């Protein structure tokens, strides 16, 4: 659905050229939710604007549904943009128009003036986002979450194949964020629409993304399935950005604390398991087979989109042999481990 190849973008600012995007490459298959996560200033905002060519890249290809947007005329581009819905951090609703007219706007901009058709389409969309009673209200009387629902209804009314989300939940409180993410997920499943989103919130990636790209300094530093990237980040920077903050802090504390009692018989491991293995009695199998003792210092079970995962900080006791046996058992069982010491 989306194919981005060798994308470069720079801004000229007072004679200085600043490279904002540097050799960006990725592909998103139809129907997937693709997340781009990064700190502010990493270039993610520019990247999502490039995807519907609100920002024109210096070079590279942006192929949406088989059409390279960088190679078509501005009139063709207008038509293509109608296939791409966008939702925004600050909603961008028109205060002078009712919710109904806000949602209907894209249809009118595309030259559809069939009132009955517009009415039916708007009602369908308002129902989808749960705002069917708000048609005649004005944006000023809505809460942030409701405004974003209107934004989503507006983005979807042209039945686009692709939805771009520009920090859609960043201006919302955690509870509202969760409900908007649920809505996006529901839309993704119900309508089969591909979603590309940018965010700085880990929660967003974890809850709805199938694939994720970590962007820093204008480059994609890590790209892969959300489960893999979130649980086993390869790059130090990624790690800093996405590893469970709590776990990370905890690790720091533990490492300081345990320095006194370090000995060859005790080993601290961070175990990660995904999918069905999450529900197996892993630790007791390992303990029996390798004849080691263990104690869980910290643990977390959760989901990354649909995939259950667990992450445990475990201390094993039982000598070098026992430990290497334990490690091989874990590898056999499909548990990923990282030796802290």
List of residues contacting other proteins (CB under 8 A) = 49, 52, 54, 77-82, 84, 86, 88, 90-92, 94-98, 105-106, 108-110, 138, 164
Specify the pairing of strand 16-28 against strand 307-317.
Answer: unpaired
Q: Which residue's CB is nearer to other proteins, number 10 or number 80?
A: 80
Please report how close the Cβ of residue 36 comes to other proteins at its closest, in angstroms.
Answer: 17
Q: Which residue's CB is nearer to other proteins, number 85 or number 322?
A: 85
Q: Which residue's CB is nearer to other proteins, number 172 or number 287?
A: 172
Q: Which residue's CB is nearer to other proteins, number 114 or number 321?
A: 114
Query: Which phi and psi angles does 99 have, rounded to 5°?
Result: -55, -45
Query: Which phi and psi angles does 181 have, rounded to 5°?
Result: -65, -40
Q: How many CB atoms lie within 10 A of CB 239?
A: 14
Specify the pairing of strand 219-225 against strand 67-68.
Answer: unpaired
Q: Which residue's CB is nearer to other proteins, number 88 or number 250?
A: 88
Please report how close the Cβ of residue 237 comes to other proteins at its closest, in angstroms.
Answer: 29
Query: Which phi and psi angles does 236 have, rounded to 5°?
Result: -60, -40
Please report how close the Cβ of residue 131 comes to other proteins at its closest, in angstroms.
Answer: 18
| CA pair distance 325, 333, nearest whole angstrom | 12
| CA pair distance 23, 298, nearest whole angstrom | 39
| CA pair distance 3, 25, nearest whole angstrom | 8
Q: Which residue's CB is nearer to other proteins, number 52 or number 177?
A: 52
Q: Which residue's CB is nearer to other proteins, number 99 or number 270?
A: 99
Please report how close the Cβ of residue 108 comes to other proteins at its closest, in angstroms.
Answer: 6
Q: Which residue's CB is nearer to other proteins, number 82 or number 247?
A: 82
Alpha helix ranges (H) inside the chain: 44-51, 74-81, 99-109, 115-128, 144-156, 174-191, 202-208, 226-231, 236-242, 245-258, 282-290, 319-333
Please report how close the Cβ of residue 109 comes to other proteins at its closest, in angstroms.
Answer: 5
Instruction: Give the CA radius of gyration of the chain.
Output: 24
Q: Can you say whether the dihedral through the CA atoms of 253, 258, 264, 266 is positive or negative? A: negative
Q: Which residue's CB is nearer to other proteins, number 42 or number 53?
A: 53
Q: Can you say whether the dihedral through the CA atoms of 250, 339, 292, 262 is positive or negative? A: negative
Please report how close the Cβ of residue 337 comes to other proteins at its closest, in angstroms.
Answer: 46
Chain centroid to Cα 167, Å, comes to 10
Please report how close the Cβ of residue 303 comes to other proteins at its closest, in angstroms.
Answer: 32
Please report how close the Cβ of residue 80 comes to other proteins at its closest, in angstroms.
Answer: 8
In three-state secondary structure terms, 324 is helix
Buried b (16+ CB within 10 A) or exposed e, 130-142: ebeebbeebbeeb
Please report how close the Cβ of residue 152 comes to other proteins at its closest, in angstroms.
Answer: 13
């Amino acid at each position: 659905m989306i194919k981005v190849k060798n994308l470069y973008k720079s801004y000229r600012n007072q004679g200085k050229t600043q490279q904002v995007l540097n050799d960006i490459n990725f592909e998103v298959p139809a129907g997937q939710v693709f997340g781009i996560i990064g700190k502010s200033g990493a270039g993610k905002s520019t990247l999502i604007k490039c995807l519907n060519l609100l920002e024109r890249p210096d070079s590279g290809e942006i192929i949406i549904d088989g059409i390279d947007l960088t190679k078509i005329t501005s009139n063709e581009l207008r038509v293509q943009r109608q296939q791409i819905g966008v939702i925004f951090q600050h909603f961008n609703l028109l205060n002078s128009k009712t919710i109904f007219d806000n949602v209907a706007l894209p249809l009118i901009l595309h030259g559809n003036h069939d009132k009955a058709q517009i009415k039916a389409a708007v009602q369908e969309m308002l129902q989808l986002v749960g705002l069917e009673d708000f048609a005649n209200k004005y944006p000023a009387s809505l809460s942030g979450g409701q405004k974003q629902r209107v934004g989503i209804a507006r983005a979807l009314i042209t039945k686009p194949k692709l939805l771009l989300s520009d920090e859609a939940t960043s201006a919302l409180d955690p509870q509202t964020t969760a409900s908007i993410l649920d809505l996006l997920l529901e839309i993704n499943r119900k309508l089969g629409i591909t979603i590309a989103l940018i965010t700085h919130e880990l929660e967003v990636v974890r809850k709805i993304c199938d694939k994720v790209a970590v962007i820093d300094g204008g480059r994609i530093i890590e790209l892969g399935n959300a489960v893999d990237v979130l649980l086993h980040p390869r790059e130090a920077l990624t790690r800093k950005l996405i590893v469970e903050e709590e776990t990370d802090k905890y690790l720091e504390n533990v490492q300081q604390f345990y320095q006194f009692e370090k000995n060859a018989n005790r080993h601290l491991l961070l175990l990660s398991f995904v999918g069905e293995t999450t529900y197996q009695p892993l630790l007791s199998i390992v303990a029996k087979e390798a004849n080691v003792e263990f104690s869980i210092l910290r643990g977390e079970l959760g989901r990354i989109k649909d995939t259950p995962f667990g992450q445990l900080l475990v201390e094993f006791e039982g000598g070098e042999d026992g430990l290497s046996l334990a490690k091989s058992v874990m590898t056999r069982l499909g548990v990923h481990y990282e030796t802290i010491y």
